[in-house]
Amino acid sequence: MTLKSQLESLLFVSIKALSVKELSGLTGGKTNEIEDALSELAHDYEAAGSGLALIKNNSQYQITTAGDNAALVKEFLKSETSGELSQPSLEALTIIAYRGPISKLELEKIRGINCSLIIRNLLMRGLIEEKFDKTKQENYYSVSLDFIRFLGIGSVKELPDYEKLNRAEELKEALEDKVEELTAVLEKASDEVVNEMAAEVADEVMEMEVETEAEISEK
């Protein structure tokens, strides 16, 4: 695989922008090689009229959708964030609820799969929130206040068997029994309220992407 190919894959699966330093550490490429490959990748997208674009902001890079497709993507996001959660998403959400704050790496060890897209979807729905730990240099995830409000509880500690499952060694096995319970609660509480919030979140996400692309274009 070429360096450009490696960078494209990393940026595609990442739920956040990555710096040249981070990309260099992941690929072993030199700073100037990384920057040259990224410039080439951005040119490839533009020259091909691709639906993707590579944006840069404060030395950080991220793959996003092409600005010309903003309206289409916005409509899709509203549909995507208001539909039913998939089984993998429900399992991840349950784990985050019982074990948050939890890192992506810890979540993936429990789930046994890559959770990048799942985390992105849950963030877009406003069901979880992300916080960067400067000491550990890693993002950690917890359920959002809106999620807690939808469940009609005052804290995640009020979840069934929270004390037991929060400490359980066989966490994945223990939580599987709780996924159906959480699904039922979400379906009962979320039809109207969650859909409304999801649409608002989708609007905010698209506005931020458009603003970022506009700022980069001005530069």
Q: pLDDT band at residue 212, thresholds of 50, 70 and 90?
A: very low
Residues 54 and 162 in one domain: no
* Cβ pair 21, 32 in contact under 8 A: no
Q: Are residues 19 and 88 in the same domain?
A: no
Domain count for the chain: 2
Same domain, 80 and 51: no
Model confidence over 81-94: pLDDT tens digits? 556 677 888 888 88
Q: Is residue 214 part of a domain?
A: no
* Whole-structure pTM value: 0.54
Q: What contacts 24+ positions apart, CB below 8 Å, involve 180-187?
A: 182/90, 182/93, 182/94, 182/97, 183/85, 183/90, 185/151, 186/85, 186/90, 186/150, 186/151, 187/84
Residue 218 domain flag? no
Q: Could you tell me the end-to-end alpha-carbon distance of the chain, in angstroms, rounded to an integer?
A: 32
Query: What residues make up the domain containing 55?
Result: 3-65
The tokens describing 81, both together, are 């964030």
Residue 211 lies in a domain: no
Taking only the tens place, the pLDDT of each residue in 145-192 is 878 877 777 888 888 777 777 765 555 566 666 666 666 655 554 444
What does the chain come to in residues?
Answer: 219
Question: Do 125 and 198 sit in the same domain of this protein?
Answer: yes
Encoded amino acid at 28, one letter = G
Looking up residue 32, the CATH number of its domain turns out to be 1.10.10.10
- Where are the alpha helices (H) located in 100-130, listed in sequence order? 104-111, 116-125
Residue 103, beta-bridge partner list: 140
Please indicate, yes or no, if residue 215 is contained in any of the structural domains: no
Burial class of 23 by CB neighbour count within 10 A (0 to 12, 13 to 18, 19+): buried
Note whether 17 and 43 are same-domain residues.
yes
Q: Do 32 and 104 sit in the same domain of this protein?
A: no
Euclidean distance between CA atoms 25 and 7, whole angstroms: 11
Question: Which letter does DSSP use for residue 86 in this model?
Answer: P
Summary mean pLDDT of the chain: 77
